Structure 1
Amino acid sequence: MELKKNPKKDLNKNRGLYFVAGLALIMLLTYVALEYKTYDKADYVSQSMNIDEEILEEVPITIQFTPPPPPPPPVAPTIIEIVDDEKIIEETIIETSETDPDAPVLEVEDIEVAEIDEDEPIPFMAIEDVPIFPGCEKEKEKGAEATRACFQKMMNKHISKNFRYPEIAQEMGIQGKVNIMFIIQKDGNIGNVRLRGPDKSLEKEAARIIDKLPKMTPGKQRGKAVKVPFSIPINFKLQ
């Protein structure tokens, strides 16, 4: 039987389209084959969290101390002593402090006046005759208050005149208040000087100022010269 071609059927009509489609399919399969990867089976959760299979944790050693047993209770005495209830208790007699109205009244001449201890210092504000700073002699006629005011004024004037700030204290920035206490002796000299301040250099300067005090007229109590304490502060302040 002789084969005949159908003039209406052209097999080369879409040849180019089929070639391009086949080439594209081959390239796609080649790309997929190259990019395909395989992975081992593993626990991705543990790997992502960096969890080791075995976790070793150091447990601190706890040492337990057993407290010593409590001491045994005291043993009760076997012999019970019976105290005699007939013991005599001495009563305390409280004498009254009220004066006896029948007692004789003493005359003024019979009362002994206690002698003043001359060695006992009399406070500056309580002494009868205030010590006189040189230059305050005229104030004595005006009374004790005027003499005290003049004494204080002359003391401040003496401190201002002789005051020198220690150089070492200036360099170190030391300042503060030095409390001074001294006693005006029976002969008018200054003694028993005591100082208290924030630094030794300031105390030394305050002592130098007190050493330059002149001799004073001593204070008197009932006409007798007595010791009189006096205190004053000196302020050291940097400008």
Structure 2
Amino acid sequence: MFCFFLLTGTFVFAQDDVDVKGNTITVREKAPVWPGCEGSEDQKTCFNQKLMEHVKNNYKYPRNDKGEFIRGKVVVKMHVDEEGKTFVNSVKGDQKQVIAAVENMLKKIPEMKPGTRGGKPTKISYTLPLNL
């Protein structure tokens, strides 16, 4: 009877992505999965590639009064929440028009499979330096 309860307790409390070795507990974190990267072996690399593709395809360079493209650097702080939705915390840069264009581009990021920590959905934060 004792062995039954011991084995049942071990199986009931086992979790994916959590390792316990002695006094050390290791909890693995997995990044969000961009649509189309579900079957990829390296989902982190796929995520980065899809994000840069998104920037390249959706960023519209603003123009000044003379019709010239306005370029600039921005730092984006954002996160992907527990439901896979992207939220922009801040966009900082030296050109207001570039900041506005980046914010518009980021609104078009698709919903994705959320990141996990210890097998449970969790918020994952990112800081992106962009040189546009």
Do the two structures share a fold, i.e. TM-score over 0.5?
A: yes
TM-score, normalised to structure 1's length?
0.41
4+ residue segments displaced more than 3 Å: 169-174
Q: Evaluate the alpha carbon distance shift between residue 192 and residue 163 of structure 1 in structure 2; reply closer, same or farther with a 3 A threshold.
A: closer
Residue number in structure 2 paired with 1:150: 46
Residue number in structure 1 paired with 2:109: 213
Structure 1 segments unaligned to the other structure (5+ residues): 1-125
Residue identity opposite 2:95 in structure 1: D
Distance in structure 2 (CA, Å) of the matches to 1:172 and 1:221: 46
Residue number in structure 2 paired with 1:131: 32
Structure 2 segments unaligned to the other structure (5+ residues): 1-26
Deviations 1:128-160 (A, max 9, x none): 222100110012xx3xxx111110000000011
CA contact (8 A) 1:132 1:147 kept: yes
Distance in structure 1 (CA, Å) of the matches to 2:54 and 2:129: 13
Count of residue pairs the alignment pairs up: 106
- RMSD across aligned C-alpha pairs, in angstroms? 2.1
Residue identity opposite 1:217 in structure 2: K
Residue number in structure 1 paired with 2:92: 196
Q: Evaluate the alpha carbon distance shift between residue 180 and residue 172 of structure 1 in structure 2; reply closer, same or farther with a 3 A threshold.
A: same
Q: Evaluate the alpha carbon distance shift between residue 160 and residue 192 of structure 1 in structure 2; reply closer, same or farther with a 3 A threshold.
A: closer
TM-score, normalised to structure 2's length?
0.72
Residue identity opposite 2:59 in structure 1: F
- Could you say which structure has the higher strand fraction? 2
Distance in structure 1 (CA, Å) of the matches to 2:107 and 2:28: 24
Residue identity opposite 1:216 in structure 2: M
Does structure 1 residue 179 correspond to structure 2 residue 90?
Answer: no
